[in-house]
Structure 1
Amino acid sequence: MDILLHVGAHRTGTTSFQRYLADHADPIAAQGTCVWGPRQTRGGLFAGLFPASGMLASGPNLVNGRVSLLMGKARDLGADQLLISDENMIGSARHSVRSGRLFPAIGERMARFGASFGGRVTQVVLTIRQTDHWWASALAYTVGRGHPVPDADQIARIAHDRRGWRDVITDLACALPEAKISIARYDDYAGRPDALFTQLTGRAAPATTQGYWLNRRPDEASLRAQMGPAAAGLRSDGLGNWHPFSDAQAAALRETYADDLFWLTAGADGLATLTETSTAPRAGTSWPDGDRRKGHHHDSGQRKLAQSG
């Protein structure tokens, strides 16, 4: 059985993709693809894989047993592919914001997940996003969830930290040396979960006419309404969103992203492959129809996979 992991990243349309998978569960299963989404992964399947509250992880063997049992049941039902989609596998957006670094624990976390599948992961797909846009979305999302607004020093540390997607991808490849690593750009797949499904599985995607626009970051107006006087220092990007970075800081983040893309297009040292989609609309026109005001209250689930902070 091929084991396919969709690991996010956070803030790249993962909730929309998972909703698409749920909406088309029957035709997807009929093709021989078994899907585990957050309902499965956050329902106790991986309990014991990570330490909790300072205690040692108590049950990696139990995790392996649960995974093997459920995979066997999927095979008995005719599945020859297992697709797991959960962005929390690589760590939380909150942990990235708190540490000021892009998914700093991805290596350790994915090594543990890989071991739970017996080191037999076939492919991993990671979606990346322009770094200044990713951080702006992650910051708005966490503040919208009630976390404090980062101060100027923390924003500066984020902007000038040199850890980019190249480092994230390298850690991922080292953790799962047996797997093919595919990198998708957010601009190519946002609003196109069917295209991402085909990229992951190599199979025809169930057709959809529904626009998927879920779990969007809260806009500036929502943050101001939530925060009251504490929102006085929020800056706007002119499009209705909070813009946490100065022009120089945003430029530094974009430079890191440009370096990451250059590395990917040059072959990524053989560690990963950048996917290409000739039919993708460009950024700014790829959003689906529908209510674009949907925010974090439209998230698909509140339960958590083991978190990194």
Structure 2
Amino acid sequence: MPASLSLIVTAYNVAPWVDAALHSALAILQPGDELIVVDDGSSDGTAARISTFEHFAKRPPEVAFVKVLLATNTPGGVGPAANIGLSRATKDIVAFLDGDDTLVPDGFKAARSIFEASLAGTAPDDILIADYEEWSDGTGRITRPFDAGIWAEAVAAAPRHRQRIALRMQAVPWRKFYRREFLEARHLRFPEGEFFFEDNPFHWQVCLAARRIAFTSEIVCRHRLDRPGRTMLVRDGALLAFFDHYRRILTLPGMTRVLRADALRWLVVNLRWHPQRLRQTAIADWVAAASRTLRAAPVGHWRTVRDEELRDPILAGLFDALRKGDVGTAERRLMAICAERDATTQQQAIAELERRLSQAERQGAAQVASDPAPCSDDPVRRFSALKGTTALPVPSLIDRPPDPEPPILWVGAHKTGTTFLQACLEASTDALEARGIAYFPREAMRAATIVPLLDRPGPPPEWPTMGMADGRRRVIFDENILGLSQNVLSSFGVYPEGAVRSSELADRLDLRAPRLVLAIRDMTGFIPSLYCEALKAVPFRRFRDFLETPFDLLSWVPLVDALLAAFPQSGLTVYTAEALRGNEAVLCEAVLGLPRSDFVRVDHSERPGFSQEAVNRIAALHAEGRWSRAAQRQIVRSYPKGRDYPAFDPWSDNERDRLRDRFAEDVPLIAARERVTLVDPRRI
């Protein structure tokens, strides 16, 4: 009698694809099999599609259907859902399928026959590892996984070599057939927790526990790439799980000296692609974890893995710095890799847009109009259908010059007079409207856009049009676009996410090639003011703890360069806060074209500022364990910055001179950048 199969399908927010996955399962199931579907608390209708499949799909006779619909999403990745499926499995063989993938019937059936033949013998295999294909959800292109070159060696390998070959392969469970008795006898389950990539330690557990491992080059599954929410698209802090998984692997039963070297190789091979997922704010934590882990590796293991897996000199330099514990060098090297990655991504996006537009132009307006489907995925055809046109010329967005009056994205920075300037612009709204300029009040615009997109966890809500379709020139102005005050300084620079945040906001508001406006300020005044501003929002920290950025990196030039790279078709207007006071109307005339006579200057009564005495008293209160926000506010009111109480000043004479010299160097460097216009309203 042939062995029976438990096919476990795990699903989370895969409504567009789960039908195809389940129907591909129907094509391979046989009488006596069972289909176990576990929905991990989906919120997009996946569970409803599973239930519809249960009631209306025509399953083969004598195939059991087990449905588990979790009320909420479990922490981390697929581990909990997969373990629930394993707890419900009752058949001889266990196989897995992701809810957005599809099985390849012929290959799956052939691989299953091979495994069944083994189970019928006196020395059954514990696992059979098969091959699979990758399918891009974006391009439709089918590719082979990275370990495709191992197959000739794997299929021909003697049994004693198969364990180490298996450990070099992609860890995914949906390419394997497991003997269920083996999993149960060894109590093998996926690790669970607030982490992803849990299939890697599970793969190591299984391969170390298995007495017999077999391979087949049959392609059993087509794995979907590039869909939103896919595990391989997670980034930043989630990647730290690899270091915990590595430590977990080192403690597994059966680890030998040779396998420990293989585990280090596994870690390094995975770390090689992490720079493609890291944003600047995550670099410091990743570097610290990587350096700590690599420094603990045995010297002989490190040398072998380094020589064999780090052939790229750039990556080799990064990993050498990590191994030596030179965190500063590692962070700088990683920042350079990430910057090059971002520039390449932008170039590819522009090239793809050029290709699409050229293709649409070649097709011609008549061909566009002939498409009867108003819901076509092609944006040009959809627009044509919605407009009801019979001919739609398609302009080249790349080749044509920018609009004569591009929208304005005024990104701050903090503590450069932005609040007063925004109040004046709000008072000047009528004059701006008369000139076709849509200026959005600070608080309303911040609540509707900045906070939901940039500073609130979870998906952003539906967004207002922000004047997108009324033909007015939009002015988006907020100091928090670049970052919140408490996040401005980092160990690798000023406003580390400023360009990324600005680009995300521009994309969401459909600001095409906006004119950027940035205020900069001497760091001797900027950083103390920023510190006092941050104290209003977060619990007390001493100034030197707040100042994470090394003095050598206290420069505006990297932010300017990052903004120019993020907006390759935009100009950038820069002015200094020192030149602004009393010249706000002149600046707005230069930036917005608003005549000085129409600029409404509001009363400017400054809020009580933090004096040196106030900061000292707040620090003493904190040291005594009696700090509270109410007590802090009372101290600031009692000791306001002014004639009696000088402003907070944390600098030594040497530090002040260094910062002033750096700012004096920054200004001409920035002014010399292509596409930058330095405006001094005192001289206009």
TM-score range for the pair, normalised by the shorter chain length: 0.7 to 0.9
The aligned residue for residue 303 of structure 1 is: none
- Is 1:38 matched up with 2:448? no
Query: Which stretch shows the higher mean deviation, 207-216 or 185-194?
Result: 207-216
* Structure 2 counterparts to residues 129-144 of structure 1, below 5 A: 129-144=521-536
Seen in structure 2, the aligned counterparts of structure 1 residues 228 and 164 have a Cα distance that, compared at 3 Å, is same
Cα displacement (A) at 1:169: 0.8
Seen in structure 2, the aligned counterparts of structure 1 residues 139 and 50 have a Cα distance that, compared at 3 Å, is closer
Taking the aligned partners of 1:216 and 1:176, their CA distance within structure 2 comes to: 38
* Structure 2 counterparts to residues 5-44 of structure 1, below 5 A: 5-44=409-448
- Is 1:243 matched up with 2:649? yes
Equivalent residue letter for 1:14: T
User: Helix, strand or coil for the counterpart of 1:2?
Assistant: coil
1:258 aligned to which of 664, 671, 674: 664
Deviations 1:142-179 (A, max 9, x none): 22445323354654x43524141111111111112222
Taking the aligned partners of 2:571 and 2:677, their CA distance within structure 1 comes to: 8
Taking the aligned partners of 1:274 and 1:215, their CA distance within structure 2 comes to: 30
Taking the aligned partners of 1:153 and 1:227, their CA distance within structure 2 comes to: 12
Cα displacement (A) at 1:230: 4.7
Structure 2 unaligned segments of length 5 or more: list them: 1-404, 625-640
8 Å CA contact retained: 2:409, 2:517: yes
The aligned residue for residue 510 of structure 2 is: 118
Cα displacement (A) at 1:95: 0.6
TM-score between the two structures when normalised by the length of structure 1? 0.72
Deviations 1:68-123 (A, max 9, x none): x63224x3xxx3x2112111111112112466741110121011122124351431
How many residues align? The count is 262
Taking the aligned partners of 1:215 and 1:98, their CA distance within structure 2 comes to: 27
User: Helix, strand or coil for the counterpart of 2:549?
Assistant: helix
TM-score between the two structures when normalised by the length of structure 2? 0.35
- Is 1:171 matched up with 2:562? yes
- Is 1:94 matched up with 2:491? no
Structure 1 unaligned segments of length 5 or more: list them: 281-309
Taking the aligned partners of 2:650 and 2:526, their CA distance within structure 1 comes to: 11
Seen in structure 2, the aligned counterparts of structure 1 residues 243 and 32 have a Cα distance that, compared at 3 Å, is same
Equivalent residue letter for 1:169: V
Taking the aligned partners of 1:90 and 1:82, their CA distance within structure 2 comes to: 18
* Structure 2 counterparts to residues 216-227 of structure 1, below 5 A: 217-224=609-616
- Is 1:274 matched up with 2:665? no
Seen in structure 2, the aligned counterparts of structure 1 residues 20 and 231 have a Cα distance that, compared at 3 Å, is farther
8 Å CA contact retained: 1:16, 1:193: no
- Is 1:83 matched up with 2:504? no
Cα displacement (A) at 1:31: 2.2
- Is 1:108 matched up with 2:514? no
Taking the aligned partners of 1:21 and 1:129, their CA distance within structure 2 comes to: 21
1:201 aligned to which of 577, 592, 595: 592
Query: Which stretch shows the higher mean deviation, 141-150 or 13-22?
Result: 141-150
User: Helix, strand or coil for the counterpart of 2:586?
Assistant: helix
Taking the aligned partners of 1:28 and 1:144, their CA distance within structure 2 comes to: 33
Taking the aligned partners of 2:642 and 2:444, their CA distance within structure 1 comes to: 38
Taking the aligned partners of 1:172 and 1:213, their CA distance within structure 2 comes to: 33
User: Helix, strand or coil for the counterpart of 1:273?
Assistant: strand
Taking the aligned partners of 1:214 and 1:161, their CA distance within structure 2 comes to: 32
Equivalent residue letter for 1:275: V
Taking the aligned partners of 2:512 and 2:421, their CA distance within structure 1 comes to: 24
Cα displacement (A) at 1:32: 1.9
User: Helix, strand or coil for the counterpart of 2:409?
Assistant: strand
Seen in structure 2, the aligned counterparts of structure 1 residues 158 and 245 have a Cα distance that, compared at 3 Å, is farther
Larger radius of gyration: 2
